Structure 1
Amino acid sequence: MRLAVVDPRMDLELADTAALVTASASGLGPACTRALADEGANVTLCGRDRERLERVRERIADGTRGDVLAVRADVTDPDDVSRAVRETVDTFGGLDGLVAGGAEPPRTTFLETDERDWYRAYDALVMSVVWAIEESHEHLLASEHGTITCLTPRASRGGSGSEGVAPSNAVGGAVVELVTTVSREFAPEIRANAVRPGAIETARTEERLEARVERGTHDDYEAGLAAMADGIPMKRVGEPRELGDVVAFLSSPKASFVNGAEIPVDGGPAGR
């Protein structure tokens, strides 16, 4: 007897839905966009660098089930955020999911951080998310399965603040509290969750490790990766798609009873 071939993938029921992924031209944004588009969602990615944005769009759109739209937008500018939402709705006919990532905050120690840096960090990490939620709310409310998924800074919980990024360490936790608040206020029509990445091998991570190799901090790139993985029970750093898949799941009807959660995607660091 011949056995039927079963597709092992879970259908997340995202085909023909529309999503906006903010600050998505670099970092973890492209992986979130790709994961959603692979599931059939039509996705808008946005960023400040138009050329980079278009390169990312072309790379993601190649072979995905959903359409991918690129909108040049600075998430620290509320007018740009409004335009990104509007172009998404105009192009795809609505908005079902918002994936809100913040901009890069100032990379300074506490004593190096001046007053304007603190405000810039708050705009980059917190107000960018506030503006995205405000502009998306009415469209998500009109969706049958409206979702908000926020990417939080790595130091948002547990006293694990990275060195040299004092503003991010200080204000990043506000995103989690914001998610907790809207998850209560917007339910049951809209679900809101947060995803906290751990050590993930993004292009930015590669740049930082290569710089450390040049400074002599690590013998080579692999040694740098091993140092990042120290203390992680999974014995490695994560891949961007591993986080993107979690975001896609939370954005789908399959996660219909997950609301107000902060989900770490970090390999289970020791001490948590």
Structure 2
Amino acid sequence: MDLNLNGKVALVVASSQGLGRAIAEELVKEGANVMITSRDREKLQIVKQEIEQLGSGKVTYIKTDITNPEEIEQLIKATNEQFGKLDILINNAGGPPAGSFDSFADSDWQQAFELNLLSYIRMIKHALPLLRKQGGKIVNIASSSIKEPIPGLILSNTFRTAIVGLSKSLAQELAADHILVNTVAPGRIATDRITYLDEVNAKKQGITRVELEQKVKTTIPLGRYGTPEEFAKVVAFLASDGNTYMTGSTFLVDGGMVKAI
């Protein structure tokens, strides 16, 4: 299938590693021009050099703290100045710390809110004037906790779920502007974030991370962790012209792990 991404312009947030990087790579392979961003300038320089070799799409970057509203505004402005338009916004952010309700202070909740929900809202707000010019796609990355809360991740469970409500509401409000909005939720995808969570849970259970990973795999019908590339292909499809009639939906990429209907 030709996704018709050649020449499209995409902004992929939190894209110097993990799922964000994998999505940027997939879009570049399909011919899209991609703005990558994170708080680590050195990583961005390396990622740009590596992924621009993968396809015909152009890659540029700007260092951005997505909890800073002024830097978000500058990011959108820089994307437009570099490429002259914006067709695709991929909202993404690193997960908040693991822990129980009693372990977090108000400041922890505020930080998680600003990183994992308010950054998405601000990014969309500033991107909309560009997206409205020709229509486009917004894909919000969440977590499998939107369907089945994950023990020990109350911050993520709270704010990732809110992303679904945001996406569903925006899908209705922006349909007239030909902007499609969807949510994609990863399960156990092999990234540094999952390694961190496995280490936390393994320590709690008094076992090694490898032993914990083997236990988790028994709960996944496909019997393995997913790869970032597998996740990225789903996002690329939703962001492409291959998707013309799906909006307001939530998609799990989890190997069948989540049991909720």
Alignment TM-score, normalising by the size of structure 2: 0.92
CA contact (8 A) 1:213 1:220 kept: yes
Counterpart position of 2:47: 56
> For 1:44, what is the secondary structure of its paired residue?
strand
Counterpart position of 2:237: 249
> For 2:181, what is the secondary structure of its paired residue?
strand
Whole-angstrom CA distance in 1 between matches of 2:173 and 2:201: 45
Q: Deviations over 1:1-47 (max 9, x none)?
A: xxxxxxxxx21000001000112222210011111111000011110
Greater Rg over alpha carbons, structure: 1
> For 1:242, what is the secondary structure of its paired residue?
helix
* Residue 99 of structure 2 corresponds to residue 99 of structure 1: no
* Residue 11 of structure 2 corresponds to residue 20 of structure 1: yes
> For 1:149, what is the secondary structure of its paired residue?
strand
Whole-angstrom CA distance in 2 between matches of 1:130 and 1:96: 17
Q: 1:68-217 to 2 correspondence within 5 Å?
A: 68-143=59-134, 145-158=135-148, 160-163=149-152, 165-188=153-176, 189-209=178-198, 217=206
Equivalenced residues, count: 259
Deviation at 1:270, TM superposition (A): 5.3
| CA 1:117–1:270: 2 relative to 1, 3 Å | closer
Deviation at 1:119, TM superposition (A): 1.0
Segments of structure 2 that go 5 or more residues without pairing to the other structure are none
Whole-angstrom CA distance in 2 between matches of 1:97 and 1:266: 24
Whole-angstrom CA distance in 1 between matches of 2:225 and 2:66: 28
Deviation at 1:224, TM superposition (A): 3.8
Aligned mate of 1:45, from 36, 41, 45: 36
Whole-angstrom CA distance in 2 between matches of 1:216 and 1:62: 43
**CA-atom RMSD in angstroms:** 2.0
Aligned AA for 1:95? L
Whole-angstrom CA distance in 1 between matches of 2:124 and 2:113: 16
Counterpart position of 1:4: none
Whole-angstrom CA distance in 1 between matches of 2:209 and 2:141: 30
Aligned AA for 1:125? N
Aligned mate of 1:264, from 252, 258, 261: 252
Whole-angstrom CA distance in 1 between matches of 2:66 and 2:209: 35
CA contact (8 A) 2:144 2:252 kept: no
Whole-angstrom CA distance in 1 between matches of 2:248 and 2:27: 21
CA contact (8 A) 1:76 1:103 kept: no
> For 2:143, what is the secondary structure of its paired residue?
coil
Counterpart position of 1:29: 20
Deviation at 1:271, TM superposition (A): 2.2
CA contact (8 A) 1:155 1:162 kept: no
| CA 1:270–1:21: 2 relative to 1, 3 Å | closer
> For 2:18, what is the secondary structure of its paired residue?
coil
Aligned AA for 2:256? G
Aligned AA for 2:7? D
> For 2:188, what is the secondary structure of its paired residue?
coil
Whole-angstrom CA distance in 2 between matches of 1:216 and 1:167: 21
> In percent, how many aligned pairs have the same letter?
31
Alignment TM-score, normalising by the size of structure 1: 0.89
Whole-angstrom CA distance in 2 between matches of 1:168 and 1:23: 16
Aligned AA for 1:183? A
